[in-house]
Amino acid sequence: MSHRQSNPCNRLRSVRGRGTSINPPNRFEPVSFEQDDAFESEQGKPKTTFLRDDSDSILSTNDSPDIPFRFSLNPYRGCEHGCMYCYARPSHEYLGYSAGIDFESVIIVKERAPELLRKSLSKTSWKPQTVVMSGITDPYQPAEKKFRITRGCLEVFASFRNPVSIITKNHLITRDIDILSEMARHRLVRVNISLTSLDPSLTATLEPRTSRPERRLDAIRKLTDAGIETGVMTAPVIPGLNDHEIPELLKAASEAGATHAGYVMLRLPWAVKEIFRDWLSHHYPDRRDKILSRVTDIRNGKLNQNDFGTRMKGSGPFAEQVRTLFKVSARRYNLGGERTPLNTECFRREGRPDLFS
């Protein structure tokens, strides 16, 4: 697979439709350069580049004790959604790119994903279990409208009757209600819609290429009406920015038909610290220090903490306040129930093109 040379310290002008305007240095690259402000490069409008991924496997394994699944499937690497806080941004550095605007504009496309998934599920060693889409980037990011790789993978899951759990913040998932509703009849699918804020002006800068809040709530309605179990993920909770919205977020999701809820506290690993700090300085300069201070409060004096058991929810008094607020709000809006495991009993080794016959 070919690679484009990253522009490590490049600061582009504020780019409409992009999350960040910087390319922090790649921590694995020995050389970086900084672009002079007078240098007119791409006129501040980098186009999205799609590169083919020729990997020969598609299922990723996970053994983290605080993540409740073993296998995940990522149809893409990089994500056009451009969410400023995305913990997956540093994964682009393994490919020789930056976690900044490269992550949003250089998308690695796994065109063989459905074929490789079929191969994996056909193995006698495969034990039917829930696969999560996706562990790294959104399976319904804008590229999916063109490449339809996520849909192709769903067709394979359906034909094998293997359960799948999906998390997305894009209304595009409603395109695949025909497959998802059939899977739901056999209890083979669960969807979680990520809802960070109800303020469209905040999501426009924080998550620039995602569906706006009302569209995400509409997705919950449509999925629920089609008989598909759908929950809401308040992810991430950003202390000092959106934590006060938790009750209203859960109320809106419940009214739209969500049946369960979860949350994750903000994590700022590696270059994400610089990217998020830069975003705060540009959009919320008066609240920047307060927000960063709150983050260090829940991360034991740091902006990121990788310790199992605390990295998802944080620790300390403020983290406990958020935990209590979320628990009380979820109970109030009937979103705190236990989730029944998805069905693995009807798995069939030879996937069939007629899906559910």
Domain ranges of the chain: 42-332
Task: Note the pLDDT of residue 180.
Answer: 98
pLDDT tens digits for 132-146?
A: 999 889 999 999 999
Residue 226: CA atoms inside 13 Å, Cβ hemisphere, count? 23
From 355, 321, 319, 357, select the one nearest 151 (Cα to Cα): 355
278 contacts 22 by C-beta, under 8 angstroms: yes
Indicate if the pLDDT at residue 42 is higher than 70: no
DSSP 265: E
Phi then psi dihedrals of residue 231, to 5 deg = -120, -175
Task: Note the pLDDT of residue 53.
Answer: 96
Indicate if the pLDDT at residue 38 is higher than 60: no
Task: Note the pLDDT of residue 44.
Answer: 56
Helices 177-185 and 149-160 meet at what angle, rounded to 10? 20
pTM surpassing 0.85?
yes
Task: Note the pLDDT of residue 139.
Answer: 98
For the structural domain made of 42-332, what CATH number should be given? Answer: 3.80.30.30
Distance CA 179, CA 238 (A): 34
pLDDT, averaged across the chain: 91
Distance of CA 289 to the CA centre of its chain: 26
90 contacts 272 by C-beta, under 8 angstroms: yes
> Which residue type is seen at 356?
F
Task: Note the pLDDT of residue 288.
Answer: 97
Identify the residue whose tokens are 């598909």: 228
pLDDT tens digits for 93-126?
A: 999 999 999 999 999 999 999 999 999 999 999 9
- Calculate mean pLDDT across residues 337-353: 87
Task: Note the pLDDT of residue 337.
Answer: 78
Indicate if the pLDDT at residue 190 is higher than 90: yes
- Bigger pLDDT: 13 vs 288: 288
Task: Note the pLDDT of residue 207.
Answer: 97
3-class DSSP assignment, residue 6: coil
Distance CA 218, CA 249 (A): 14
pLDDT tens digits for 262-299?
A: 999 999 999 999 999 999 999 999 999 999 999 999 99
Indicate if the pLDDT at residue 349 is higher than 90: no
